[in-house]
Amino acid sequence: MRIINTIIKMGLTALITSLIAKVLGLEYWITAGILAVLSTQLTKKDAYNIAIKRILDTVLGLALATVMFLVLGYEFWVFSIFIFIFAYFSFVLKLEVGIVPVLVLVSHLLAEKEFSWLMLLNEFSIMAIAIIVVLIFDLVYPQTAEKEFKKYLDEIDNHLKEHLILIAKFLKRETTKENALVQSEEIIKVFDKTYEQAILLDKDLLFQDGHQYLSYLEMRKVQITHVNHIYQHALKFVVEHQYIMQIAEFIEQLSFDIGYFDKATEQLEKLLDFKHFFKTTALPKTREEFETRAMLYQILNELEYFLIAKIKFHEKNPKFILIERKKLKIR
């Protein structure tokens, strides 16, 4: 969908830009449409960054070309030398995205064979109109990326919830490790797809708190890692332990709190109380019991890291809950 929208924007901006340039009576007006196509990007942030660089590179290129043509003449060999010098400075100044468009504009100066302020203004106007039309179009063109991305976030949360429930069942010996492994692979697959969408969305939200969604996804990425660690620890149990069921119940209860809102703080308090109780119990008597107890304690640690990741997210993104309340119309 994003690619289709970009293609539509390319066609419309090329048409509109060319017509504006023609109405204004600019020479080489069709070039404005071509530059508009070159300036259209997949995301708004990329379009704005490239726009700034191309304007700066246009000023540099037109100024350098004018000086060289006035001093050495309007000859092709001068244009060839200009290309080397201009390309070098563009790369040094990290403005290389403007090289090709500016060379097109400078070729117009070469074709005229004489200096003219009006021609310089003409070439700069071609670039300026193309960029302005593209930027305005990016602002008014309808975007559905955020809505689509929130759908992916919900999928991630649902898979994470199901994975926690599955681990709880595995600890209770109500399911097999193969089922938990399949679920884990599915989460990773969905996550990778969502992460790509998140990066594009993050570049589309220029004037909003767009980074909150990327931060949310990063937080879930950390949590998924801890969940996988829990699963790996659970596989190492050699004997049954009296507290396995309690930990399984806690994980199952925790799964129902997976969502946008901060319920991790309350769950962390319960977990810390349980860890304190766990430390005060009698020490294991056999090696197998000791290894199982150690694995249980590692699971508790992973659960703690899991909850802390969510708490830190809300600390860094305090507006996230308010935004979601507004969108969900929660009072």
166 and 69 part of one domain: no
In this structure, are 203 and 60 located in the same domain?
Answer: no
Q: Which of 140, 162, 184 is the last residue of a domain?
A: 140
Q: Looking at residue 239, what is its pLDDT?
A: 57
pLDDT at 145: 60
| Helix (H), strand (E) at residue 27 | none
Give me the pLDDT at residue 331, please. 29
Is 276 found in the same domain as 136? no
Shared-domain flag, residues 122 and 183: no
Q: How far is CA 41 from CA 170, 200, 237, in A?
A: 47, 11, 53
pLDDT of 318: 79
How many domains is the chain partitioned into structurally?
Answer: 2
Same domain, 133 and 178: no
Statement to judge: residues 303 and 165 lie in one domain: yes
281 φψ region: left (φ > 0), alpha (ψ -120 to 50), beta (else): beta
Answer yes or no: do 101 and 234 share one domain.
Answer: no
The pLDDT score that the predictor gives to residue 301 is: 92
Nearest alpha carbon to residue 111 among 83, 144, 75: 75
Whichever domain contains 248, its CATH number is 1.20.120.940
Same domain for 191 and 120: no
Total number of residues shown for the chain: 331
Among residues 78, 112, 140, the one where a domain terminates is 140
Same domain, 175 and 312: yes
Which pLDDT tens digits describe the chain residue by residue (331 residues)?
A: 667 777 888 888 889 999 999 999 999 999 988 988 888 776 677 778 888 999 999 999 999 999 999 999 999 999 999 999 999 999 999 998 889 999 999 999 999 888 889 999 999 999 999 999 988 887 776 565 666 667 778 888 888 888 888 888 888 877 777 777 777 777 777 777 777 776 666 666 655 555 677 788 889 889 988 998 888 888 777 656 678 888 889 999 999 999 888 889 999 999 998 888 877 777 766 777 777 778 888 899 999 999 999 999 988 887 775 555 445 433 2
Dig out the tokens for 56 from the structure.
């700066």
Same domain, 131 and 153: no
- Whether 36 and 106 map to the same domain: the answer is yes
Amino acid found at 153: L
Q: What is the 3-state secondary structure (H, E, C) of 156-212?
A: HHHHHHHHHHHHHHHHCCCCCHHHHHHHHHHHHHHHHHHHHHHHHHHHHCCCCCCHH
Please check whether residues 184 and 311 belong to one and the same domain. yes
The residue segments making up the domain with residue 56 are 2-140
Radius of gyration of the chain (CA): 30
Last residue of a domain, one of 118, 140, 162: 140
pLDDT at 303: 94
Whether the CB-CB separation of 210 and 221 falls below 8 Å is answered with no
- Would you state the structure tokens that stand for residue 20, as one six-digit string? 């504006």
pLDDT of residue 144: 57
Spatial distance between the Cα atoms of 15 and 30, rounded to a whole number of angstroms: 9
